[in-house]
């Protein structure tokens, strides 16, 4: 009889072996006992050593719930507008997951893991709540080290550039905490070189950049929030461009008017997105006692000035409209009448005079009424305002205005003349205290200083103001000053900065 010696194996293994009745597979008592051993279990038969089968187990990859993190601005719910992934897709860090729309802006949520999409929790146009799952993603075990912040990409680039941006085809990537640190120190993310994965900007990159700039982290400066991009310049060595090669201004997509379809049935749909924001804002506006003031402005000299500057602006790739002049004239007026650039607290006990002139422009878009604003107009030239307006108009037509563009306004102008209106009764946008509606420019007969009938370019303006802190006389003086700048554009040169 051959001698059978078994090296000590784990007790759990022996118990499983007995319960599985593996003795049925053993040979007779005079033959070698055969069985599958666990790793490091050996059988010695007749003095010979044999290593049997090695059994291994593959650990399942964890599936994590990717939750919608806090987007900010008190937003608690968003509407899922578009999915960029589907179940079974493989994604990497910072890949776009979906686009969501709040009542303030549209943002794109990006992945913080490498993995495979296993479940989508929402359909298109459904409501997603902050803190609730968006997707399930199967990840590598090594990635699950602890809670991380979701990366939120705002497709609409603001000139503060504290969110993800497209800069010459390169996407700047950073978490909300890093963006916040950059914003607090007035640092453009586009100027920082990221040392993280795929060029991701880390906290250390911001601190190092700040140290190189000043040796220490600077406190935020109120008038350095934005810096307009420099105009496109032609290199000295480049040959003179032909007229047909001249850079054309950015084109604004023409809205397509859908063919009306008569269904013959009533239908009900929820109020959401920007429309929901308008309901909330206008309900608050009804608490403000409005009063109106109307006047007409002779823009004949401004029309001639713009025609002279239009070609120069287009050579720099910028479309120059009348709106930059209207906005700059309003900012000059706000310097003399700061009460129009203020806000009143809920108890009507304190007035806050705003240092920055963040002048909003009401826009009619496919998503409804949006009011982005040009930041720090008091620090910008007319051309720089035109650059920013071109950007806002392009993003507005594409539905990609960001939260930064749509918040922080201090004074608003609404250009109803772009649609064809003449007069209006504009509603103040809280917490602002005044708003102006600009009518279309009409060629009408007027008398000159000699009593002669001449052709004049006339525009009507309609103002609304908060009568709790602004009286009619102050409104009239502000309007007269604003009108004088536009009727004699050369007078603005003395006060331009």
pLDDT greater at residue 119 or residue 44: 119
Q: Would you state the pLDDT for residue 399?
A: 78
Predicted TM-score (pTM) of the model is 0.58
Predicted pLDDT of residue 213: 57
Nearest to 309 by CA among 484, 455, 490, 440: 490
Report whether 128 contacts 83 (CB < 8 A): no
Q: Are strands 106-110 and 151-153 parallel, antiparallel or unpaired?
A: antiparallel
Whole-number Å distance between alpha carbons of 177 and 199: 16
pLDDT for residue 255: 55
pLDDT above 70 as % of the chain: 67
Lowest mean pLDDT among 37-46, 170-179, 197-206, 453-462: 37-46
Ranges for all domains in the chain classified under CATH 4.10.320.10: 178-214
pLDDT at 314: 93
Is 85's pLDDT higher than 70? Answer: yes
Count the Cβ atoms, other than its own, within 10 Å of residue 52. 14
Percent of the chain, pLDDT > 90? 32
**SS3 of residue 119 by DSSP:** strand
CATH of domain 288-494: 3.30.559.10
Reported as a single tens digit per residue, the pLDDT across 357-385 is 999 998 887 777 889 999 999 999 999 99
Task: Please state which CATH number belongs to domain 63-138.
Answer: 2.40.50.100
Active site (annotated) includes residue 467? yes
**Non-local CB neighbours of 429 within 8 Å, separated by 6+ positions:** 281, 285, 360, 371, 409, 412, 435
Note the pLDDT of residue 400.
79
Mean per-residue pLDDT, 409-424:
89
Could you give the C-alpha distances from 380 to 175, 223, 359, 367, 407, in angstroms and in order?
Answer: 30, 10, 12, 29, 19
Domain 178-214 has CATH 4.10.320.10: yes
Non-local (6+) Cβ contacts of 474 within 8 A are 337, 339
Q: Flag whether pLDDT at 216 surpasses 60.
A: no
For 47-67, the pLDDT digits (tens) are 444 454 444 444 567 888 888
Residues of the chain with CATH 3.30.559.10: 288-494
Whether the predicted pLDDT of 35 surpasses 90 = no
pLDDT of residue 365: 77
CB–CB of 54/42 below 8 Å? no
* pLDDT tens digits for range 137-175: 888 755 554 444 444 444 433 333 333 333 333 456 666
CATH 2.40.50.100, the chain: domain bounds: 63-138
Q: Where are the beta strands (DSSP E) in 127-256?
A: 127-129, 133-139, 151-153, 166-167, 170-171
Q: Are 440 and 457 in contact (CB under 8 A)?
A: no
Structure tokens at 15: 């118990």
Task: Write down the catalytic residue from 70, 295, 467, 495.
Answer: 467
CA-based Rg of the chain, rounded to a whole angstrom?
Answer: 33
Write out pLDDT tens, residues 245-256.
444 444 555 556
Indicate which residue of 140, 198, 345, 471 is catalytic.
Answer: 471
Choose among 241, 291, 300, 344: nearest CA to 441.
300
Q: Known catalytic residue: 54?
A: no
* Cβ neighbours around 193 below 10 Å, total: 9
Q: Is the pLDDT of residue 269 over 50?
A: yes
Q: For residues 383 and 404, what is the distance between their CA atoms, to the nearest angstrom?
A: 21
- State both tokens at 221: 């400066």
């Amino acid at each position: 009889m051959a001698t059978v010696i078994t090296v000590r194996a784990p007790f759990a293994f022996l118990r499983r072996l007995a319960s599985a009745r593996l003795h049925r597979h053993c040979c007779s008592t005079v033959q070698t006992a055969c069985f599958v051993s666990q790793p490091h279990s050996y059988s010695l038969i007749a003095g010979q050593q044999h290593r049997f089968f090695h059994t291994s187990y593959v650990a399942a990859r964890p599936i994590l719930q990717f939750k919608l993190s806090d987007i900010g601005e008190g937003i608690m719910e968003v509407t899922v507008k578009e999915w960029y992934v589907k179940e079974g897709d493989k994604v990497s860090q910072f890949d776009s997951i979906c686009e969501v729309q709040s009542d303030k802006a549209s943002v794109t949520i990006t992945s913080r893991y490498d993995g495979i999409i296993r479940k989508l929790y929402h359909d298109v146009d459904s409501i997603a709540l902050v803190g609730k799952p968006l997707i399930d993603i199967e990840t590598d075990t090594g990635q699950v080290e602890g809670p991380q912040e979701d990366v939120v990409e705002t497709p609409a680039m603001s000139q503060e550039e504290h969110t993800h941006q497209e800069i010459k085809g390169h996407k700047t990537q950073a978490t909300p905490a890093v963006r916040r640190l950059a914003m607090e120190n007035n640092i453009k993310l586009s100027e920082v070189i990221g040392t993280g994965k795929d060029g991701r900007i880390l906290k250390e990159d911001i601190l190092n950049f700040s140290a190189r700039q000043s040796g220490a982290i600077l406190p935020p400066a109120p008038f350095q929030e934005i810096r307009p991009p420099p105009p496109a310049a032609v290199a000295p060595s480049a040959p003179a461009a032909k007229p047909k090669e001249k850079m054309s201004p950015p084109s604004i997509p023409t809205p397509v008017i859908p063919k009306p379809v008569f269904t013959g049935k009533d239908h009900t749909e929820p109020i959401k997105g920007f429309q929901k924001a308008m309901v909330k804002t206008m309900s608050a506006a009804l608490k403000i006692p409005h009063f109106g003031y109307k006047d007409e402005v002779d823009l004949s000299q401004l029309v001639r000035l713009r025609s002279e500057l239009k070609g120069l602006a287009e050579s720099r790739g910028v479309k120059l409209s009348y709106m930059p002049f209207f906005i700059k004239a309003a900012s000059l007026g706000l310097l003399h009448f700061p009460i129009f650039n203020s806000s009143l607290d809920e108890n009507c006990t304190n007035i806050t005079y705003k240092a920055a002139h963040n002048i909003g422009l009401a826009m009619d878009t496919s998503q409804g009424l949006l009011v982005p604003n040009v930041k720090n107009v008091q620090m910008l030239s007319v051309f720089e305002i035109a650059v920013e307006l071109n950007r806002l108009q392009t993003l507005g037509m594409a539905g990609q205005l960001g939260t930064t563009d749509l918040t922080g306004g201090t004074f608003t102008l609404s250009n109803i003349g772009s649609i064809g209106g003449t007069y209006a009764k504009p509603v103040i946008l809280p917490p602002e205290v005044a708003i102006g509606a600009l009518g279309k420019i009409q060629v009408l007969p007027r008398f000159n200083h000699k009593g002669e009938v001449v052709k004049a370019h006339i525009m009507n303006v309609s103002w609304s103001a908060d009568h709790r802190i602004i009286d009619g006389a102050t409104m009239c003086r502000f309007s007269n000053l604003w009108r004088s700048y536009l009727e004699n554009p050369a007078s603005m040169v003395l006060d331009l900065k």
